[in-house]
Amino acid sequence: MYYIVTGAAGFIGSNLVKALNDRGVTDIIAVDNLKQADKFRNLVDCDIADYMSKEDFIEKLNGGMFDGIVSAVLHQGACSDTMETDGRYMMQNNYQYSLDLLNFCQNEEVPFLYASSASVYGSGPNFKESREFESPLNVYAYSKFLFDQIVRRRWHKRSSQIVGLRYFNVYGTREQHKGRMASVAYHFFHQYRAEGYVKLFEGCDGYANGGQLRDFVSVEDVARVNMHFLDHPSQSGIFNLGTGQAQSFNDVAVATINALRAAKGEGKLSLEQMHQQQLIRYISFPEQLKGKYQSYTQADIGALREVGYKEPFLNVEQGTGRYVNYLLSKAK
């Protein structure tokens, strides 16, 4: 029996493959599109049974090749570029692909864990898994929102576990291929090492410079939550996956810089001291993001706690510190 991980060479997908390996699971079919070839590096230290391109996988899935041999599907494959303007591509790649897998898993009575997104909430301010709080701002968010709606419509007829995880701002290992879509922690790390300072957006929507608030969640925690649901196949639902605590972009910058300073034996600095030394600088807020930007997100994780997930989440200082040390080890 095989585990199928889509988007397996991507950021979260490769971390899930590694998490399965850490449990001794190697019968994994990794599905991805390696048009961006450098993503293969995310799987170099992982053990899998087979790799398939997305197109070959869908053809074989529809042809019945996987009938009766799948233990679970962890569906992370999607276009995650929130600036993508090709709506047809986005709906085919995110919505229809997910629908094909949902149909397969329900027909086969196989657990289906899939990546939703906190972007479905739009500009907030309420982030609870309920229809009245959902108002996507771009076609990426709409593709995720629409699939969640289909899941809800089919809820009472489900034959096996369905878990949608609304990822908030995920950061951590194996995201180097994402380019401009990589986390701010990743960008701050490289900016500081290259230029000696980091750049943040000026304030918008009433927030001070660098003061916009997001729920930053480590990919380590994301993997742990996915493994929790694999261990509890009776639990289904759409769940927020964040820390439950919003922190500012300034907080991420301070944590990144201080972790890099600590690695060189230098002392911690406060945000004010970093301003004084121009280690943190602000740039104009991009025109193309106005009206499409979430200046505040904070996951309501009540539903996740209610189904029994009790583990604490890493805060920005903890998670960023660990991530910086990982990036330094790779740089060496």
Catalytic residue selected from 178, 197, 199, 326: 178
Angle CA 313–318–322, to nearest 5? 110
95 is catalytic: no
- pLDDT number for residue 86: 61
Would you call 178 exposed, middle or buried from its count of C-beta atoms within 10 A (0-12, 13-18, 19+)?
middle
pTM exceeding 0.75: yes
- Say how far apart CA 218 and CA 78 lie, in whole Å: 19
Catalytic residue selected from 95, 140, 186, 309: 140
- Name residues whose C-beta falls within 8 Å of residue 210's C-beta, 6 or more positions apart in sequence: 200, 201, 203, 248, 249, 250, 253, 280, 282
- pLDDT number for residue 84: 57
Among 79-83, 125-129, 162-166, 305-309, the least confident range: 79-83
- pLDDT number for residue 168: 97
Among 14-28, 174-188, 244-258, the least confident range: 174-188
* Sign of the four-CA dihedral 206, 209, 211, 214: positive
Would you call 90 exposed, middle or buried from its count of C-beta atoms within 10 A (0-12, 13-18, 19+)?
buried
140 is catalytic: yes
SS3 at position 178: helix
Answer whether 227's CB lies under 8 Å from 74's CB: no
Residue 15 confidence class, pLDDT cut points 50, 70, 90: very high
- C-alpha closest to that of 330 among 176, 224, 199: 176
What percentage of the chain reaches a pLDDT higher than 90?
A: 82
What percentage of the chain reaches a pLDDT higher than 70?
A: 96
- Indicate if the pLDDT at residue 82 is higher than 60: no
Residue 38 confidence class, pLDDT cut points 50, 70, 90: confident
- Average pLDDT of the residues in 189-199: 97
Would you call 275 exposed, middle or buried from its count of C-beta atoms within 10 A (0-12, 13-18, 19+)?
middle
